[in-house]
Each structure stands twice: as structure tokens, then as C-alpha cells.
Amino acid sequence: MSALALNAEALYQELLRGARSLCQTDTRLVGITSGGAWLAQRLQRDLGLAGESGQVSSVMHRDDYAQRGLSAGGQTSLPFEVDGADILILDDVLYTGRTIRAVLNELFDYGRPARVQLAVLVDRGGRQLPVQADYAAARVALPETQSLALARDAEGWFSFEVENKA
């Protein structure tokens, strides 16, 4: 394990600032299951937005669905009208862009949003598709051999740690 450890609470405060600048009063927050769902719920409260945030799963549209099937992907739940909505997608880590591509397909199964933006806690580089975040609380360049993992402390709070892939 490397010495790099990112404090998730500090990153969250940065994300809150960024989300504030991206959101309008009618913006709908949608977290990607599972890492983005807690972010969307907390931001919904902290930004004082009305209603409930949604969550969206990439599972049905993954390009490796044939190998992985429906395993552990969470469920999509969008408790608002997607047609015409201004949507901010949240995730913890942005990597290849493949999850975002799959999530956009899933979202568009529910309607045609007026606009979709993306905000993440950490952009770790390594993109394989032309996807960019509108806001990233931190950017780190990690080689393919390393992954960015969420670790929980005794109180259940998170931090990010860099791990060497097996």
C-alpha cells in the first residue's frame, strides 16, 4: 500500500463547493451505485435541495455484461421525472469512463434529461472513453497497476487508499 491516503471528509467538503456551483434550485442529484449513492444523499441535504436524490446502476448496460451478468450492481431508483430534468451525476472515483457511459444509457432509458453533468470525489486518470467530470474534488494520476480503494475507520467514516492490484 502506498503512502497516498486522501481524506474523504476533506474531499467531500470540496465536492460540496463544486456541486453548489454546478447546481440550480431544480437540479436532481443521482448517485452511481454504490460509491456515489451516499454522496448524492448527503449533498441533497447539505445543498438544501427539495425532494429525494436518485441512484443509478450501470449493471444493465455494462459492456462486459456477458461475462459479469447481474452480479452486485445495485438498482436504479429515480424518484422524479427524468424527462426535461437538470441532472448532476455523482460518483466517488472516475477512472476509465466505461461506468459513466453505461450509466448514461441507463438514465436515458428513463427519459430525456435537459442536461446531465458529472461531479466526482477523485479523478484518477486512465480514461478509455471521451468522458470528463464537470467537477473533481481531487485529481491523481495512478498507473493501471494501482487501484483507489475506500477504507472505513472504526466510526464507519471513509478514506481513500491506493492499493497495488493483485
Ligand X SMILES: O=c1cc[nH]c(=O)[nH]1
Site for ligand X in 5-34 (CB under 6 A): none
Query: Cα separations (Å) of 83 from 42, 65, 106, 112?
Result: 24, 27, 13, 5
Give the residue with the Cβ less far from ligand X, 10 or 149: 149
Site residue total, ligand X (CB under 6 A): 7
**Interface mask toward ligand X for 48-67; x: CB under 6 A:** ----------x---xxx---
Quick one: CA dihedral 26, 101, 106, 42, positive or negative? negative
N residues, the chain: 166
Q: Give min distance, CB of 20 to ligand X, in A.
A: 29
Cell of 83: 424527462
Which C-beta is closer to ligand X: that of 39 or that of 102? 102
Given the complex with ligand X, which of 27 and 76 has the nearer CB atom? Answer: 76
Helical pair 37-46 and 8-22, crossing angle rounded to 10 deg: 60
Question: What is the rounded CA–CA span in Å between residue 142 and residue 132?
Answer: 16
The footprint of ligand X on residues 84-123 (CB under 6 A) is: 98-99, 102
Spatial contact of 119 and 90, defined as CB atoms under 8 Å apart: yes
Q: Which residue has the cell 476533506?
A: 10
We find the least distance from the C-beta atom of residue 64 to ligand X, in angstroms, to be 5
Query: Minimum Å distance from CB 120 to ligand X?
Result: 14
> Residue 11: what are its φ and ψ, rounded to 5°?
-65, -40
Cβ closer to ligand X: 64 or 155? 64
Q: Closest separation between CB of residue 81 and ligand X, Å? A: 26
Shortest spacing between CB 45 and ligand X, in angstroms:
28
Q: Compare residues 63 and 81 and give the one whose CB is closer to ligand X.
A: 63
In sign, the C-alpha dihedral spanning 82, 57, 158, 7 is negative
Q: Given the rule CB under 6 A, which residues bind ligand X?
A: 58, 62-64, 98-99, 102
